[in-house]
Amino acid sequence: MSKIDDLIKEMCPDGVEYFSLGDIAKSIRTGLNPRQNFRLNTSDAENLYVTVKEITTGKIKFSDKTDRINDGALEIIQNRSRLELGDVLFSGIGTIGKVAVVDIPTDNWNCSESVFLIKPNHNKISSKFLMYILGSNVAKDQYESQSVGSTLKGVRMATLSAFQIPVPPLEVQKEIVRVLDSFTELEAELEAELEARKKQYEYYRNTLLTFNERERVIWKSMGEIGKISMCKRIMKSQTSRSGDIPFYKIGTFGKTADAYISRELYSDYKSNFPFPKKGDILLSASGTIGRTVVYDGKPAYFQDSNIIWLENDESQVTNKFLYHLYKITTWQTEGGTIKRLYIDNFKRVKIPVPPLEKQKQIVSILDKFDALVNDISTGLPAEIEARRKQYEYYRNKLLTFKELERSK
């Protein structure tokens, strides 16, 4: 960091001037939402439609889940906001503060109305430096205090235009960008490796859990293997926002609980009603069907009917084998907008049951891949998280400047 310190001492020893974003941008616009203007994913849609989900780690990343628009829709959006290389994208609704620099050709994509398109004045500020500033605490402190909306938070264009941005000399900006780029490039390499390992895991999982007629495999229904169980219903009036025992609903399953129950209620229900044992595979039976959590034995309670488990005989099928098998199982669901996996349908699902020795062999291979791609304490996700925290520390440190006192 000594070069940056030397440059600051030489070029801006008394501090850095702050400007409103509107003063250092040629323009600030947004994309366009469909409404009456156009429709998404029509039969002739071949162009890409960027929302907040495509903005990640300073890049625009398309996927098979990215919405598509046709040529007419693309022209309508471009007449409002024409993208160019070097523009900075900033998500202003929902997940606020995701940023990226446009560094790919722009002839076949544009953005939704939830994404701001900022054209920096490169005589004052570089695209990369502005991207890092807008992703840092400098901007976060401003949009968190000035966002509007109750359910869906957002930043108004006038608010964004008024954001105060430190603007050191371009040479200082260039050196800071060089340092921060080294962090983001390393994180990108780790994420690419993680994605490759995930595909490798999926390949081996699908191969090892596909059995032909010559193999010694018995097919059994879930109902034959064990009893399908769920916790006793917890009423909303029995929960609180803080307390002793976390209560996981379908929306917080596998995440952080936002509701709690008393220790007395937990002890009563755990003793007198079905409750998972350590190592049981909890399964989501509503919404996104088939998400799994291995119960770790720590005090917790789970929403009835939406979260279920199989009380299986591990002399037939081990929990670890079920954990991997659930990931490729096709579930028979019912319902419209919100899908459900009902108990009767779960009971009828048939799965392959190889000999225990074979199950253990398969698990020993798949567990290694699973730990590498999913373990937040030892695997690649842990290393990525550590690098991200390191990057955020240096980003916020490098982008915090003493403000130059303007002469009166």
Mean pLDDT over 170-174 rounds to 95
Band (408; pLDDT cuts 50, 70, 90):
low
Radius of gyration of the chain (CA): 26
Is the confidence at residue 160, as pLDDT, over 90? yes
Average pLDDT, the chain: 92
Torsion of CA 177, 179, 185, 187, to 10 degrees: -120
Mean pLDDT over 158-171 rounds to 95
How, if at all, do strands 47-50 and 109-111 pair? parallel
Q: Of 351, 322, 324, 345, whose CA–CA distance to 333 is shortest? A: 345
Q: How far apart are CA 177 and CA 132, in angstroms?
A: 8
pLDDT tens digits, residue range 386-405?
A: 888 888 888 888 898 888 88
With tokens 């109902």, the residue in question is: 223
pLDDT tens digits, residue range 348-374?
A: 999 999 999 999 999 999 999 988 888
With tokens 């398969």, the residue in question is: 362
**Lowest-confidence pick of 121-135, 217-231, 324-338:** 324-338
Residue type, 87: D
The 3 state secondary structure assigned to the chain is CHHHHHHHHHHCCCCECEEEHHHHEEEEEECCCCCCCCCCCCCCCCEEEECHHHEECEEECCCCCCEEECHHHHHHHHHHCCCCCCCEEEECECCCCCEEECCCCCCCEEECCCEEEEEECCCCCCHHHHHHHHCCHHHHHHHHHHCECCCCCECCHHHHHCCEEECCCHHHHHHHHHHHHHHHHHHHHHHHHHHHHHHHHHHHHHHHCCCCCCCCCEEEEHHHHEEEECCCCCCHHHCECCCCEEEECCCCCCCCCCCEECHHHHHHHHHHCCCCCCCCEEEECECCCCCEEECCCCCCEECCCCEEEEEECCCCCCHHHHHHHHCCCCCCCECCCCCECCHHHHHHCEEEECCHHHHHHHHHHHHHHHHHHHCCCCCHHHHHHHHHHHHHHHHHHHCCCCECCCCC
Residue type, 377: S
From first CA to last CA, the distance across the chain in angstroms is 33
pLDDT tens digits, residue range 176-224?
A: 999 999 988 888 888 889 889 999 999 999 999 998 877 789 999 999 9
Query: Tokens at residue 351, please?
Result: 């799965």
Question: What local confidence, expressed as pLDDT, does residue 1 receive?
Answer: 55
Question: What local confidence, expressed as pLDDT, does residue 206 receive?
Answer: 93
Question: What local confidence, expressed as pLDDT, does residue 174 receive?
Answer: 95
Query: Tokens at residue 61, please?
Result: 């990343």
Question: What local confidence, expressed as pLDDT, does residue 56 receive?
Answer: 85
Band (380; pLDDT cuts 50, 70, 90):
confident
Question: What local confidence, expressed as pLDDT, does residue 407 receive?
Answer: 64
Is the confidence at residue 124, as pLDDT, over 60? yes
Contacts of 365 (CB under 8 A, 6+ apart): 204, 208
In degrees, rounded to 5, the angle at the alpha carbon of residue 386 between the alpha carbons of residues 175 and 177 is: 10
Is the confidence at residue 376, as pLDDT, over 70? no
Q: Of 384, 387, 392, whose CA–CA distance to 191 is shortest? A: 384
Question: What local confidence, expressed as pLDDT, does residue 84 receive?
Answer: 95
Note whether 280 and 229 are within 8 A (CB).
no
**The sheet that has 99-101: what strands, in order across it?**
25-30, 115-120, 88-91, 99-101
**Lowest-confidence pick of 92-106, 278-292, 294-308, 380-394:** 380-394
Say what the pTM is.
0.71
Is the confidence at residue 257, as pLDDT, over 70? yes
Q: How far apart are CA 95 and CA 102, in angstroms?
A: 19
Query: Tokens at residue 254, please?
Result: 């596998």
Q: How far apart are CA 234 and CA 397, in angstroms?
A: 46
Q: Of 139, 170, 136, 137, whose CA–CA distance to 21 is shortest? A: 139
Question: What local confidence, expressed as pLDDT, does residue 215 receive?
Answer: 78
Which domains are assigned to the chain? 17-166 (3.90.220.20), 218-353 (3.90.220.20)
Query: Tokens at residue 52, please?
Result: 């907040």
Note whether 86 and 102 are within 8 A (CB).
yes
